[in-house]
Structure 1
Amino acid sequence: MSKAPRAIRLDPTAPEGGLGPSVSRGDVAILPESEPIDVVEPAAVAPVKRRWSWGGLFVAGLSGFLALAFGVWAEQTIAWLMSQSSVLGYAALACAAVAALALAVMLGRVIRDILRERKVEALRLRATAALADGSVDAAKAVATQLTALYGARAETAKGRVQIADSLPQLFAARDVLTVAERSLMAPLDALAQAQIAQAARRVSLVTAVSPRALIDIVFVLVACARLLRTIAGIYAGRPGTLGLLRLARQVLGHLVVTGGIAAGDAVIQQVVGQGLAARLSAKLGEGVLNGLLTARIGLAALAVCRPLPFVEAAPPTLGDVAGDLGSWGGKDSGA
Structure 2
Amino acid sequence: MSTLNRPRAFRLPSGDAAPEAAAPGVQTAPPPPEVRIVEEPFEIVEAADGTAVPVARKRRAPWAAILFSALGGLVGIAIGLSLERMIADLFQAAPWLGGVALALLALAAVAFLAIVGRELVGLRRERKIETLREAAIAAIASRDHTAAQGVVRDLSAFYADRAPLAAGRQRLDALGDAILDVDDRIGLAEHELLASLDTQATNAVATAAKQVSAVTALSPRAIVDVAFVVYSAVRLLRRIAAIYGGRPGFLGFLRLARAAFAHLTITGGMAVGESVIQQVLGLGIAARVSAKLGEGVLNGLMTARFGLAAIAVCRPLPYVREEQPRLSDVAGELLRPAQEEAKAERQAERL
Which TM class, normalised by the smaller chain length? 0.7 to 0.9
Superposed, 1:32-71 pairs within 5 Å as 58-71=67-80
SS in 1 for 2:333: coil
TM-score (norm 1): 0.80
Task: Tell me whether 1:198 sits opposite 2:232 in the alignment.
Answer: no
Distance 1:62-1:297 versus aligned 2 partners, 3 A rule = farther
Q: 1:106 aligns with which of 108, 115, 119?
A: 115
CA apart distance, 1:333 = 4.2
Is 1:163 paired with 2:172?
Answer: yes
Aligned mate of 1:76, from 76, 85, 106: 85
**TM-score scaled by length of structure 2:** 0.76
Q: Does 1:235 align with 2:283?
A: no
Q: Give a deviation string over 1:33-92, Cα, whole Å, max 9, x none.
A: xxxxxxxxxxxxxxxxxx997655554444333222211211121112112221111111
Deviation of the 1:334 alpha carbon = 4.2
Aligned to 2:222: 213
CA RMSD of aligned residues (A): 2.1
1:310 to 309, 313, 319: 319
Match of 2:146 among 137, 152, 163: 137
- What is the SS of the residue equivalent to 1:190? helix
Deviation, 1:221, is: 0.4
Equivalent pair of 1:272/1:325 in contact (CA under 8 Å): no
Of the structure 1 ranges 305-314 and 160-169, higher mean CA displacement relative to structure 2 is found in 160-169
Give 1:276 shift: 2.0
Structure 1 unaligned segments of length 5 or more: list them.
1-50
In the TM superposition, 1:244-259 aligns within 5 A as: 244-259=253-268
**Structure 1's 330 and 57: CA in aligned 2 closer, same or farther, altered over 3 A?**
farther
1:236: how far off?
2.3
Deviations 1:128-186 (A, max 9, x none): 11111111111111111101111111231222122112343233221110111111111
Moved more, 53-62 or 169-178: 53-62
- 1:95 aligns with one of 104, 107, 114: 104
Instruction: Report the Cα offset of residue 266 of structure 1.
Output: 4.9
Judge conservation of contact 1:230–1:238 (CA < 8 Å) in 2.
no
CA contact (8 A) 1:135 1:172 kept: no
Moved more, 75-84 or 290-299: 75-84
For the pair shown, which has the larger CA radius of gyration, 1 or 2?
2
Structure 1 position 148 matched with structure 2 position 157: yes
> How far apart, CA to CA, are the structure 1 residues paired with 2:243 and 2:109?
31
CA contact (8 A) 2:285 2:339 kept: yes
Q: Give distance in 1, aligned partners of 2:181 and 2:124.
A: 30
